[in-house]
Structure 1
Amino acid sequence: MAQYGRIIGIDVGTKWVGLARTDLLKTVANPIGTYHVDDVFDALGEQLENENVEKVVVGWPLTPEGEEGRAIKMVKEFLAKLETKFPDVDVAKVDERYTSKEAVRAMVEAGVPKMKRRESDRVNQAAAAIILQKYIELVKANNVRITDRYV
């Protein structure tokens, strides 16, 4: 019997943070929105309070060579705040290489006009959905339970 719940995906940026969430069966990721770094924890708190969130998946910025990139420090600081504000939340990290490019490509394929594609809020939330969808696919491909910690 399937357990109903959601997973939240996060694309951390210097000024903006994109959020996405799964459907209740945890099969599809959909963008929620983009929030200023000062406001994202309020938005996360609302999701955690109003939804049955089983896990939070954060994009882990690796270089093309698979090494930790410059943005790792920023994401580590975000994760430290996340753990302080929501200590009971289970967190996983997923390689986020090329997710912003994938987000722009997906918007082109969906027919989103060029001016709208330049709006960083659209890219951030689409990237969060791609990060989350990657996690879902990794879990399926590796026959791992959602409740397992997968990095």
Structure 2
Amino acid sequence: MSRILAIDYGKIRTGIAVTDELQIIASGLTTVTTKSLISFLIDYTKKEQVELFVVGEPKQMNNTASESEILILPFIAKLKKQFPDIPVIRIDERFTSKMAFQTMIDSGLKKQQRKNKALIDEISATLILQSYLYSK
């Protein structure tokens, strides 16, 4: 089988999570600079078979698109152009950053470690991917 890869897209950094090959467990993979995201995905898909991209969809409380959606839509267009055979779906990512931060607290990470924004992005991508897996 192949993996599902989730993306928590950000203006500066992007968190990435993947499933195992059986698509049962979501795990944080890494955080990359957003400007190097497409090249990272090209390299990753050369090594691992990816069946689906799950991209976080930021929404406001009233269910309308958040301001960051303006940045995400052009990225999705590039993603679809670069990987025409890999479908892209969107998953509501409301509260993932807050949940990621709470996960860090619950895991016993010290205050200094919780300031690591890259780790928050990676955990957020994992939460997006878990949300997708639960919805399947």
1:98 — aligned with what? 95
Gaps (5+ residues) in structure 1?
140-151
Gaps (5+ residues) in structure 2?
none
How far the C-alpha of 1:84 sits from its partner, in A, is 2.0
Amino acid at match of 1:21: V
Q: Is the 8 A contact 2:59 2:92 kept in 1?
A: yes
TM-score, structure 2 as length reference: 0.96
Distance (Å, rounded) in 1 between the aligned partners of 2:96 and 2:20? 20
Give the ranges of 4+ consecutive aligned residues of structure 1 lying more than 3 Å apart after TM superposition.
Answer: none
Corresponding residue SS for 1:66? coil
1:36 — aligned with what? 33
CA RMSD of aligned residues (A): 0.9
Amino acid at match of 1:37: T
Distance (Å, rounded) in 1 between the aligned partners of 2:46 and 2:78? 17
1:109 — aligned with what? 106
TM-score, structure 1 as length reference: 0.87
Corresponding residue SS for 2:74? helix
Task: Tell me which of 64, 68, 74 is aligned to 1:67.
Answer: 64
Task: Tell me which of 77, 81, 93 is aligned to 1:80.
Answer: 77
Distance (Å, rounded) in 1 between the aligned partners of 2:31 and 2:42? 14
The yes-or-no answer on 1:12 pairing with 2:4 is no
Q: Is the 8 A contact 2:80 2:87 kept in 1?
A: no
Distance (Å, rounded) in 2 between the aligned partners of 1:99 and 1:116? 18
Identity of aligned residues (%): 32
